[in-house]
Structure 1
Amino acid sequence: PQDMESFVQSSGDDGLIVVSFGSMVKTMSIERLEVFASSFARLRQKVVWRYVGEKPAGLGNNTKLLAWLPQNDLLAHPKTRAFITHAGSNGMYEALHHGVPMVCLPLFGDQPTNAARVVSRGLGVKLDFSTVTSDQFYQAILHVVTNTSYS
């Protein structure tokens, strides 16, 4: 969509972060929402976050919440710098295909194994969804965005 492309282009050289925790995650605690939102607000990049629910109080102007993302298209976009994911198979393979580094926060099923593979192959980092702090999350995003070994 044109408004999405305008938002992505407005990121300039800083680029875009794509965020999706999959279709199985319908809600999350206010505490988790605020951890993620406050981390995103500190970034220079624009953030597109697939999330339906209450808007977090700490959400920055750089972050757009959407009920649906053209995920593969966004991961293919030259301005995309990182993918924050639950490490589900589809999104993980899309990010791998497009060479986008990942911050993995696995939740259940095959996701912990997928995240471990991402880390062991030097394609991203893994964090604990339930316990990660805002600063740890922010630092992990900066790490994959600025460390050239991931690009």
Structure 2
Amino acid sequence: PSNVIIDRFIPQMHVLPKASAVISHGGSGTVLAALSLGLPQLCLPFFADQPLNARAVADAGAGLVLDLSSTNAVMITEALARLLTDQSFRQSAQQIAKEIREMPAPAEVASALTRLG
């Protein structure tokens, strides 16, 4: 379809603001970028921190996790359809985005830590 992009590398911040949802391996950069924009996620983790990140997204209600080793195209299609139609995923992701926006800036944290000691 004309609204799908597949490529070896695409700078996330060029496409994520236009996305309705994110399908990824659940790496920390993608998870945080998607959450900061309030996007629900479908995670298919396969190594390192990805399973933990994916589980955190699902536990927060901001997405779903599929086991890459036993997933097929139908399962991915159904999971994506659920993410796009069940507004609770978007609402949870948007709540997390709000919390991220309200976090203090690194300079504020550094200043507070310096005052401690």
Deviation at 1:130, TM superposition (A): 1.5
Greater gyration radius:
2
Residue 72 (structure 1) aligns with: 13
Report matched runs for 1:1-151 at 5 Å: 46-49=3-6, 66-77=7-18, 80-151=19-90
TM-score relative to the length of structure 1: 0.56
Which residue identity lines up with residue 118 of structure 1 in the other structure? V
Q: Deviations over 1:86-140 (max 9, x none)?
A: 0000010000000111000001011000000000000100001111022111100
- The Cα RMSD (Å) is 1.5
Deviation at 1:70, TM superposition (A): 2.2
Q: Deviations over 1:44-78 (max 9, x none)?
A: xx2222xxxxxxxxxxxxxxxx222121221122x
Kindly tell me the number of residue pairs found equivalent between the two proteins: 90
Instruction: Determine the C-alpha separation between the residues in 2 that align with 1:85 and 1:72.
Output: 14
TM-score relative to the length of structure 2: 0.71
Structure 2 gaps of 5+ residues are: 91-117
Instruction: Determine the C-alpha separation between the residues in 1 that align with 2:8 and 2:25.
Output: 16
Residue 113 (structure 2) aligns with: none
Instruction: Determine the C-alpha separation between the residues in 2 that align with 1:118 and 1:101.
Output: 9
Instruction: Determine the C-alpha separation between the residues in 1 that align with 2:73 and 2:17.
Output: 27
Structure 1 gaps of 5+ residues are: 1-6, 11-45, 50-65
Instruction: Determine the C-alpha separation between the residues in 2 that align with 1:112 and 1:85.
Output: 11
Instruction: Determine the C-alpha separation between the residues in 1 that align with 2:26 and 2:64.
Output: 11
Identity %: 36
Q: Which structure's residues are more often helix, by fraction?
A: 2
Q: Which structure's residues are more often strand, by fraction?
A: 1
